[in-house]
Amino acid sequence: MTLLALALAVGVVIDDAIVVLENIFRHMEEQGKSARQAAFEATDEIGLAVMATTVSLIIIFLPLAYMPGIVGRFLKSYGLTVAFAIGVSLFVAFSLTPMLCSRYLRVSTGPRHRFQIAVDRLNDGLKEKYGRMILWSLRRRWVLVVTAAGVILSTGVLIRHVGKDFIPPDDSSEFQVTLKTPEGTSLSMTSKILEQMEADLRRLPGVKSLLASVGEGEGARSMTA
């Protein structure tokens, strides 16, 4: 679960650094500030918002580590790892990222490459469409409120029709046959009975292989196909 938490947290832990880096670059490009000044002021400008976002994520994942029962034992390392990784990302975004930007970040003044021009055009198009969506939403607020309320209320109805299980059953295309002979049955007699059962099972359609063993458990004879 620890490795799973680290794999899932990769996309989350870099968000803070990206937001801080982008704001520093914006201050340098649009306002002509030096790298050092932009690092201080840009980080201070969005510090509260970044901190609020990170703390909210920690509040979401940390309770997983304190769930009771066997589920809590499975998810404890997951919740602690994700919460710790997100906390470290906030520290890095407020310390290492501004320091590196103040020393190495530069605004390019030369001609832009074709790739940069294509990316800028794509961003401009997405920004324009997103702006239209925002305006449409602001003009029809009640539509969004009613839709959101309907989605939330519908979850109470839909959850009754969704299957719930801790570990879903896995169809491995196998079946197990257990044979318990009467007390005192000899090993040779048990083997003969087993051979007859094997012959009957092999005639069943779809049976590709058999695995048999004698004397497992409480003297039972088992076969897995």
pLDDT tens, residue by residue, 170-224? 767 777 778 788 887 788 888 888 888 888 888 888 888 887 777 665 544 444 4
Element (H, E) at 114: helix 114-139
User: Is residue 19 predicted with pLDDT exceeding 50?
Assistant: yes
> What single-letter amino acid sits at 218?
E
| Separation between Cα atoms, residue 204 and residue 202, nearest integer Å | 5
User: Is residue 135 predicted with pLDDT exceeding 70?
Assistant: yes
State phi, psi for 214 to the nearest 5 degrees.
Answer: -115, 140
Q: What is the DSSP letter of 162?
A: S
Question: Coil, strand, or helix at residue 208?
Answer: coil
- Token pair listed for 106: 């530069």
Tokens 């939330």 belong to 152
User: Is residue 80 predicted with pLDDT exceeding 70?
Assistant: yes
Q: Where are the domains of the chain?
A: 1-110, 176-224
Name which residue leads in pLDDT, 136 or 117: 136
Q: In this predicted model, what pLDDT tens digit does every residue of 140-154 receive, in sequence order? A: 889 989 999 999 998
* Summary count for the chain: helices (H), strands (E): 7, 3
| Cross-strand bridge partners of residue 216 | 220
Q: Residue 33 has what pLDDT?
A: 87
**Multiple choice CATH, 1-110, 3.40.50.10420, 1.20.1640.10, 1.10.287.3510, 3.30.70.270:** 1.20.1640.10
> What single-letter amino acid sits at 51?
M
Mean pLDDT across the chain: 83
